[in-house]
Amino acid sequence: MRPVLLSSLLLIVLALIVLLLAGCSSYRSFAEIRREVPQSQFVRVGDQLVHVEQAGEGEAVVLLHGFGASTYLWRKVIPALAASHRVVAVDLNGFGYTQRPQDPAAYTREGQTALVLGVMDALGIDRAHVVGHSYGGGLSLFLASRHPERFRTLILVDSSAPTYPEDRRSRIASLRTLSNFFVRVVALRPNMVRRSLQHSYYDPSQVTPELVEAYLDRLLVQGADDAFYGLTVPRLAPGPKVELDQIHLPTLAVWGAEDQLISLASGQRAVARIPGSEFVVIERCGHLPMEERPEELLKAVLPFLERHRDGPSGAGPSLPQPPLSQPPPLPPGERGLEEGLVSSSSDKPLPLLPEDGGEAGRRGPG
């Protein structure tokens, strides 16, 4: 009986695997992406083709999206920004239509930094205003800390910690077969993306099937398995620490009042550590102001950019504004952005997807 039982169990397991694989996500080849996307939207950085969307003229504004997102995130605000600035929205390593490298180093903070600076160099941009959302905000803080000479101002939108790209790493990601299976069968599925987006919105009814498809389409790209590994496998040594009180660029932070992923109070406490920083709250808004409240986001961002514009029509390279009143100290068990966390949750988020963070409901692109 035992051989028969073992054979039966093996057949059941194999059948389940076949069913799961039949329903797993498939990736579009990068060659197909290049045929469909205008070639003018690709910038060569070394051996890699990086997808960027550009519009307008004037001082450059570089837009960095959140985790699981892409340049598509900024589509509602790019036209208004481009009316007075040169807008450059970048698809970071592992996201959007940017070519996925195989080297895990490309997916570290230093690797993403090299990508952003490489795009700026290729486009002849010496200095830029940088706008970062969530994961992209954490990278923007790292850029401002390590390369302040390349940036005019820093704008954070519901930003993660500068250590977040390192915090989300897990030893289980070292098991490539298991992690690849997880990405294809679980993570990159329409239901997962829909749920993640809904947790990012104050009004989840705004999450339409078309929106889900647009986000998912830019994740299902050849090399997603390599990106998953690079974004989540532990590093041998920790990267450099970012001291928020040593950032001296003019800084604006904009936050959704009902952000369930990165709380408003946490953001206020952390941003107050940046000298002269300004903070704007958007009511009835979750983690994605550029999706839910683009007009309100622009009302905060455009005047700030104008005040810090070089030349006779602006304030020139302005000094930071006087700091806001200091928020109350952190309660026990909660650490600010400068220490790598933005909530008391320690759960690891889902790689390549909008975050998933336990009690704070940390699910959303970025």
Residue 136 to residue 364: CA distance in whole angstroms? 13
- By three-state DSSP, how is residue 187 classified? helix
**3-state SS, one letter per residue, for 110-175:** HHHHHHHHHHHHHCCCCCEEEEEECHHHHHHHHHHHHCHHHEEEEEEECCCCCCHHHHCCCHHHHC
Residues 161 and 337: beta-carbon distance below 8 Å: yes
**Angle at the Cα of 172 (from 232 to 132), degrees rounded to 5?**
20
DSSP-assigned letter for residue 221: B
The pLDDT of residue 187 is 62
pLDDT in tens, 69-97: 999 999 999 999 999 999 999 999 999 99
The pLDDT of residue 34 is 97
pLDDT in tens, 248-285: 999 999 999 999 999 999 999 999 999 999 999 999 99
* pLDDT band at 135; cut points 50, 70, 90: very high
pLDDT in tens, 172-195: 655 556 555 556 665 668 888 999
Beta-bridged to residue 338, according to DSSP, are none
Residue 256 to residue 296: CA distance in whole angstroms? 10
* pLDDT band at 163; cut points 50, 70, 90: confident
Please give the domain boundaries of the chain with CATH numbers for all domains: 40-326+334-360 (3.40.50.1820)
Q: What is the mean pLDDT of the chain?
A: 80
Does the pLDDT value for residue 315 go beyond 80?
A: no
Q: Which helix (H) or strand (E) holds 281?
A: strand 278-282
Lowest mean pLDDT among 152-161, 181-190, 286-295: 181-190
Distances (CA, A) of 333 to 330, 336, 345: 8, 10, 9
